[in-house]
Amino acid sequence: MTEAEPVLRLQDLKVHYPVRLGHGFGKSMLRAVDGVSLDIGRGECLGLVGESGCGKSSLAQAVMGLVPVSSGRIALNGREDWGADRLARARMVQMVFQDPFSSLNPRQSIGQSLGGPLKLHGVTNRSEREDRVATMLRKVGLNPDAAGRHPHEFSGGQRQRIAIARALIVEPQLVVCDEPVSALDVSIRAQIINLLLELKDELGVALLMISHDLGVVEHMSDRIAVMYLGRIVEEGDWRKIFTAPAHPYTRTLIASIPDPARPDAGWERLRGEAPSALAPPAGCAFHPRCAQAFGACRAGGVPEFTGLADDHRARCHLLTEGASR
């Protein structure tokens, strides 16, 4: 991290949803995000990884202001009090969604989809909007004449390029990418990943890259945060995460990557299903699936972060009590 104010700072962020359990069973709270603290610096890519249902998308939606925050703080460029100033927030942070087939309005031309945000943000001159749309289409590898066409005329990869152009055209400082390549053919995923990296470097924009695919985040990220059942369990420089993972959950995720070039470290594969966020286990939430779990994991409360090296930390009882067993 740089010493400058981070583009995004989350402090003890919680997003809880009330859930009706059924007739006669009352209500409960689904703890989708349960106390997350993270920083993202300018021009940095933070990869957020974890299984489906761990809370990644709820965290992304909270950052965008699309779901209410139960408690905690979200600061964008040091500012928290966005209130009803949704337009200024949208200028600051934009999002690339998972499905390029549903994220674009089929009734709008590409020029309208890209030019509309510019008009909303004060670019009233039509000629200037058209020039900026053409420039952004070129940046994402499309011909400017695409502005006169509609989404159904493009492939999935081309639509995702258009979605990226729409997110970047208002010059945000942070782009949240929620599984941006998971709906695409394997043959074009690398093209979109490399495009995002090129634009990040060229424009100096920060990325929050959300994925369950560790291969994607290994290629893209400067730092990685591993999320399990609403909490960050490990965070650090991508090299540290992939070469010296400290949390058993992180090791199981890396062991599941089908990469013949990666040496087999003998790490256990992930087993079983994640518990429900409606009733998370006591102690460390990962202990029912952890081959190394011991007494403190079940009864010792939620583990605190242990600092391991510069910019590397993990929540695991094995790093404290387990070291002296």
Tokens of 180: 């941006």
Secondary structure (DSSP) of 89-107:
HHHHEEEE-S-TTTSS-TT
With a cut of 70, say whether residue 26 has pLDDT above it: no
- Residue 3 pLDDT: 55
In tens, the pLDDT along 225-239 reads 999 999 999 999 999
On whether residue 135 sits in a domain, the answer given is: no
On whether residue 161 sits in a domain, the answer given is: no
- Residue 260 pLDDT: 60
On whether residue 130 sits in a domain, the answer given is: no
Buried b (16+ CB within 10 A) or exposed e, 91-103: bbbbbbbbbbeeb
Pairing status of strand 45-49 against strand 206-211: parallel
**Separation of alpha carbons 205 and 219, rounded Å:** 17
On whether residue 134 sits in a domain, the answer given is: no
Q: Whole domain around residue 56: which residue ranges? A: 8-92+172-324
294-312: average pLDDT? 89
70-94: average pLDDT? 88
41-58: average pLDDT? 93
With a cut of 90, say whether residue 258 has pLDDT above it: no
Structure confidence at residue 23 as a pLDDT band (50, 70, 90):
low
On whether residue 153 sits in a domain, the answer given is: no
The percentage of residues in the chain with a pLDDT greater than 70, rounded to a whole number, is 94
Tell me the CATH number at 188: 3.40.50.300
- Residue 274 pLDDT: 84
Whether 315 contacts 235, CB under 8 Å:
no
- Residue 94 pLDDT: 95
Structure confidence at residue 270 as a pLDDT band (50, 70, 90):
confident
In tens, the pLDDT along 214-227 reads 888 988 999 999 99
On whether residue 119 sits in a domain, the answer given is: no
On whether residue 128 sits in a domain, the answer given is: no
On whether residue 131 sits in a domain, the answer given is: no
With a cut of 50, say whether residue 62 has pLDDT above it: yes
How many independent structural domains does the chain possess? 1
**Adjacency order of strands within the sheet including 8-20:** 27-40, 8-20, 71-76
With a cut of 80, say whether residue 278 has pLDDT above it: yes
Task: Report the SS3 class of residue 4.
Answer: coil
| HEC profile of 250-266 | HHHHHHCCCCCCCCCCC
Task: Report the SS3 class of residue 206.
Answer: strand
- Residue 266 pLDDT: 65
